[in-house]
Amino acid sequence: MNEHLKQRILRRLEALPDERAYQVLDFVEYLESRYATRSAPSGILARITETVEDTMRAGKLPIKAISGAMGAVDGASKVMKGIAAASKAAVDEAMRTASPPPAAPPADRSSSLPSPPAKP
């Protein structure tokens, strides 16, 4: 999908209430099942979020309840990503401080030797 089309669709979706946005999602999923292979969510948190959302929708929970729950899950996902980034930074810093400093290159000994006497 080209970027212009993607942005145009996104602008339209952002203007819709949640109930209508879920109808759009249903239609997109229908089109995927009919004409294309479905792309799997990329990360574990995305898969969990989609599973929870689909389960809530199948249980016919009110849209506001689903939206609220998805907002909470999204917030938790952001916290987990922040924790993962902070942990990685801490490990990287620990590895830098635990590594010995690089050895200095050997000094050029030719300059410390006395010069040979000049020949007359």
Tens digit of each residue's pLDDT (9 = 90 or more) over 34-78: 887 656 667 777 888 888 888 888 888 888 888 888 888 888 888
**pLDDT at position 38, please?**
58
Close Cβ partners of 94 (under 8 Å, ≥ 6 residues apart):
none
Q: What is the pTM of this model?
A: 0.46
| Token code pair at residue 4 | 């212009």
Q: Report pLDDT for 27.
A: 92
pLDDT (average), residues 15-44: 82
Task: Encode pLDDT of 82-97 as tens digits.
Answer: 898 899 988 888 888 8
Calpha distance 44→56 (Å, rounded): 18
* Of residues 11, 13, 7, the one with CA closest to residue 25: 13
